[in-house]
Structure 1
Amino acid sequence: MNWLNSQAFTAFGQHIIWSDLIGNTVGLAALALGWLRNIWTWPAQLLSGLVLIAANLSVQQAGGVGKQLVVIVVALWGWRAWTVGRRGAKDGTIAVRFATWRERACLVGGAALGTLAVGGLFAAYPSLSWSPWADAYIFVGTLAAMYAQARGMVEFWFAWLLVDLVGVPLNFRSGLAFSGLIYVVYGALVLWGMRDWWLRSRRSTRPALEGAPA
């Protein structure tokens, strides 16, 4: 499997390796499938995680490896959650909604504490990561985003956007140029997906609001 970390081509002076190219292309497809609320988003995220482990190992980015391991575990859980949710829906689709304020507080608080804990671990053991706090932020942010996606929360798009803001420069600095470029495309898809899920969440609550007593 050494070919995965061999050079595929060079673009704009950056060397693109196969694992970076394949993993992020599949990841981009997974994001598009998530936008469409297609259950195949989860197998695609799982495959992307497996391939990107090789990419992150090639540049000794432990946080990235940990992130992909989380992607694999949460993808399996999300796959199951969406399968159950789709069976329980009348129209067989995945319902989306905004999180409650309590859920938002738990997501933000958990992400903050998780980043401090993981960042502290990486800082204490420099061999795990050359950029401990950025790695920790991406690791925990990815976990929060995927959890919110599995629960059908519109906020998962906001979480991905915040992860991208750090992920793009970090990947360029780490030598994973294609990851950096593809994260820019992710950003555009995130904005479109955020709008689509927001509109869907409003439509799903409108009948209940219209039928409520004045």
Structure 2
Amino acid sequence: MSALDWLHGTAFEAVGQPVIWSDMIGNLIGLAALALGWRRSVATWPVQLLAGVILVTAYASAQLSGGVGKQLLVIAVALWGWRQWRRGDRQAQDGQVAVRFGTTRERLVLVAGTAAGTLLVGGLFTAVPQLSWNPWPDAYIFVGTLAAMVAQARGLVEFWFAWLLVDVVGVPLAFHSGLAFSGLVYVIYLVLVLWGLRDWWLRSRTPTARPLPEGATA
């Protein structure tokens, strides 16, 4: 048996549905990535990248093209986000990434881009049924995930709100598609998202001290 065959095999059953290894392992790693994001650790990005690689196989086995596309997107944005968080001007006094609420312009761009992207991708999935058997929910999750990760890479508190909106559709779709473990893990995601939202919200209200330029005095 190859490693790919093993990943597509059944680990156990949950709520009457088989849980495949790739779905379980990928989501557990994704859960760790979310926790690292809450802690504002740059390690969240390579961990998200690994989760995306494994979940590609899970969604491919369930014939969810939108899910596969979403995970490929996760991989690409994780590489970009990793680079963004490693930049010196993104660091707060405690050495972790600095977080803030987005400006009005940033929020409008995020909302408008998400809406336009969902319409575009949903239209593509509808016109080409081979890409997705559930075009609009897939498009919503696909684009919503991109919006959330872009907001996270920029250190915006709105990142957590975007993930909440994605989960509203992602949870029932995962159960309906036979990815039971994804649905169960999303419940834990919800707790972490609310916890992370509170933490980032509070930190965004705390002034961040910056080191003075060399030779300057307070």
Q: Which TM-score bucket, shorter chain as reference?
A: over 0.9
Residue 130 (1) aligns with residue 133 (2): yes
2:153 counterpart residue number: 150
Residue 194 (1) aligns with residue 211 (2): no
After superposition, the C-alpha distances for 1:156-198 in whole angstroms (9 at most, x for unaligned) are 0000000000000001011100001111111111000000000
Structure-2 separation of matches of 1:40 and 1:86 = 17
Query: Structure 2 vs 1, CA of residues 45 and 86 (structure 1 numbering), >3 Å: closer, same or farther?
Result: farther
After superposition, the C-alpha distances for 1:122-149 in whole angstroms (9 at most, x for unaligned) are 0001111111000000000000000000
Residue 55 (1) aligns with residue 58 (2): yes
Query: Structure 2 vs 1, CA of residues 35 and 86 (structure 1 numbering), >3 Å: closer, same or farther?
Result: farther
1:7 counterpart residue number: 10
Q: 1:16 aligns with which of 2, 13, 19?
A: 19
After superposition, the C-alpha distances for 1:99-139 in whole angstroms (9 at most, x for unaligned) are 00100000000000000000000000111111100000000
Structure-1 separation of matches of 2:25 and 2:94 = 34
Most deviating of 80-89 and 151-160: 80-89
The answer to whether the Cα contact below 8 Å between 2:42 and 2:96 also exists between their aligned partners in 1 is no
What's the CA shift for 1:89?
4.6
Q: Kindly report which structure 2 residues correspond to 1:1-214, keeping only aligned pairs within 5 A, or say none.
A: 1-85=4-88, 89-204=92-207
Structure-2 separation of matches of 1:90 and 1:160 = 27
Structure-1 separation of matches of 2:120 and 2:110 = 15
Structure-2 separation of matches of 1:101 and 1:206 = 24
Quote the sequence identity (%). Answer: 69
Give the SS at the match of 1:168.
Answer: helix
Give the SS at the match of 2:207.
Answer: helix
Give the helix-richer structure, 1 or 2.
Answer: 1
What amino acid sits opposite 2:47 in the alignment?
A: A
Gaps of 5+ in 2: 211-218
Gaps of 5+ in 1: 208-214
Structure-2 separation of matches of 1:145 and 1:49 = 15
Per the normalisation by structure 2, the TM-score is 0.92
Give the SS at the match of 1:16.
Answer: strand
What's the CA shift for 1:11?
2.0
The answer to whether the Cα contact below 8 Å between 1:45 and 1:72 also exists between their aligned partners in 2 is yes
Q: CA RMSD in A?
A: 1.6
